[in-house]
Chains A and B, each alone.
Chain A
């Protein structure tokens, strides 16, 4: 239904080249900023290099709040909090998902080292948080047991 109205709109504007290119360019501009290679990476290290993180050192100043046992892998609440100063980004990865990278949060200006969201996990796996601060990367991990996976059909 929605696609139909979209097609109609595009066809109607077909004569006006400017309108068409403007309409088609905006989603592409968004895609350019999105780190596709990092999200399609099949391993944690590939995903991190896609985000421009080389090596990360383990840090005790990152706290991951996630359940020990997640009954439903489709909805696993994860909270990452860090006391490291000058945090520029926080990435959340699930080591054993087909594509480990779940989300990357770029923090700017007055933002604090805190993010929370809910992710899907296909099976029991460590959840990894990678914090970038002052050009260095720090990481922490927490094992989450999943009883029902959340990535299949």
Chain B
């Protein structure tokens, strides 16, 4: 299972726009396996954190109603080119991943 985050941050007039694509199944726990008829256990991202130069600017709490392979975007002020942006997530099974990028 690939745990990947595609992360981009671009600044315009001091405001940075961060865009991220996370690879994650986001199972709701309500879907049934067609072959066995059993419910597929829930597996979804619960928290997503966005950091600008190590300082948290966004902390999202997600439910299973966020789409599979989630897309998330947010903005923050006071950004300049070369700043570090970090995005990390953790799911209900204790899995997690993070990625960093530079503002451009």
Q: Which residues of A contact B (CB under 8 A)?
A: 2, 26-27, 30-31, 33-35, 39, 74-77, 79, 94, 97-99, 101-112, 114-121, 150-153
Contact = CB atoms under 8 A, between A and B. Distances in A.
A99 B44 CA distance: 14
A117 B58 contact: no
Contacts of B17: 114
A21 B83 CA distance: 36
Interface of B: 1, 15, 17, 28, 30-32, 34, 46-47, 52, 55-68, 70-79, 90, 92-94
Contacts of B90: 27, 30
A79 B68 CA distance: 17
3 nearest CB pairs, A to B: A27-B94, A102-B65, A116-B73
Contacts of A76: 67
Nearest to A24: B94
Contacts of B79: 110
Contacts of B59: 105-106, 108
Contacts of A31: 46, 92
B67 A118 contact: yes
A111 B58 contact: yes
Given A107-B58, A109-B76, A152-B30, A101 B65 contact: yes
17 contacts: A27-B94, A39-B63, A98-B30, A103-B63, A108-B56, A109-B52, A109-B55, A110-B77, A110-B79, A111-B77, A115-B73, A115-B74, A116-B73, A120-B66, A120-B67, A153-B30, A153-B34
